[in-house]
Amino acid sequence: MGPYLLLLAGVVLTAIVLAKALAALDRIYGVLLGREPVVRIIVPWRRSLRDARHGGREYAGSAAVSVLDMVMVLSVLAAVVAFTIWYVLVEPTPPNVGGPGPAKR
């Protein structure tokens, strides 16, 4: 059970360190762009019921793109590209099958 607890602790610590690093990177990015850190929280009882008719947006205009948004988008794109390369080039046949499946012929 010890190795599993060590693995779990490593995953949690890695997530915390990466979250802190991304938050610091986002703060630096905001300083370089001259953005003021703004936290906008609208509690449910202060929301207008009319917002649902207009797409549910809580503020007009578009939100600024942050470093965290870019990191998430690039990570997902990299994962999709890596999976596609693996599926098409490295492992073109289904596992445990003698030949290509009907879709691969």
Tens digit of each residue's pLDDT (9 = 90 or more) over 37-93: 666 666 666 666 665 555 555 554 455 667 777 888 889 999 999 999 988 888 776
Give the pLDDT score at 17. Answer: 95
Confidence tier at 6 by pLDDT (50, 70, 90): very high
Contact call for residues 37 and 30 (beta carbons, < 8 A): yes
**Total domains, the chain:** 2
Give the pLDDT score at 11. Answer: 95
Region 12-29 average pLDDT: 89
Whether residue 16 is found in the same domain as residue 45: yes
Whether residue 70 is found in the same domain as residue 49: no
Instruction: Identify whether 30 is part of a domain.
Output: yes
Instruction: Identify whether 103 is part of a domain.
Output: no
Whether residue 69 is found in the same domain as residue 44: no
Q: Which domain holds residue 48?
A: 1-56
Whether residue 31 is found in the same domain as residue 8: yes
Cα distance between residue 53 and residue 66, in whole Å: 28
Region 87-102 average pLDDT: 68
Asked whether residue 97 carries a pLDDT value surpassing 70, the answer given is no
Contact call for residues 101 and 93 (beta carbons, < 8 A): yes
Whether residue 6 is found in the same domain as residue 45: yes
Contact call for residues 32 and 69 (beta carbons, < 8 A): no
Whether residue 77 is found in the same domain as residue 37: no
Whether residue 37 is found in the same domain as residue 79: no
SS3 of 26-52: the string is: HHHHHHHHCCCCCCCCCCHHHCCHHHH
Whether residue 38 is found in the same domain as residue 69: no
Whether residue 52 is found in the same domain as residue 83: no
Instruction: Identify whether 48 is part of a domain.
Output: yes
User: Which amino acid would we find at residue 96?
Assistant: N
Confidence tier at 14 by pLDDT (50, 70, 90): very high
**Structure tokens, 60:** 């007009």
